[in-house]
Amino acid sequence: MPQPMHLTDDIFENEVLKSNVPVLIDFWATWCGPCRIIAPSIEELANEYSGKAKIAKLDVDNNQRTAMQYGIRSIPTILIFKNGQVVDTIIGAVPKAKIEEALLKHI
């Protein structure tokens, strides 16, 4: 079963900005309770949309450069990128259906 990709500051440009498919990124941290609540939804989406979109996670504590670059102030924050640009933002622990609905607009 495909798992979400674990992004770092170093691979962000190649894996996200240069991606030829939409990329959904869950900005999270290990200490964040709401992040743990949505984690199963992110994992399910990685499996369901394998090949159609990249589903990824970025730990904001270990990758502060990227988190700061995109103005991540609260987590979980989900950004959807298409053609190197942010095309959608979801902030907070939301149901899987809301995340999926946002992703489907860009596939």
pLDDT band at 11 (very low <50, low <70, confident <90, very high): very high
Predicted confidence (pLDDT) at residue 1 exceeds the cutoff of 80? no
Does 94 qualify as catalytic in the annotation? Answer: no
**Domain with 19 in it: what CATH number?**
3.40.30.10
pLDDT tens readout for residues 71-80: 999 999 999 9
pLDDT tens readout for residues 39-92: 999 999 999 999 999 999 999 999 999 999 999 999 999 999 999 999 999 999
The total of structural domains in the chain comes to 1
Does 32 qualify as catalytic in the annotation? Answer: yes
Print the domain residue range for 76. Answer: 5-104
The answer to whether 53 and 22 have CB atoms below 8 angstroms apart is yes
Catalytic residue among 32, 38, 58, 99: 32
pLDDT tens readout for residues 19-37: 999 999 999 999 999 999 9
pLDDT tens readout for residues 93-107: 999 999 999 999 999
Residue 91: count of CB within 10 angstroms of its CB: 14
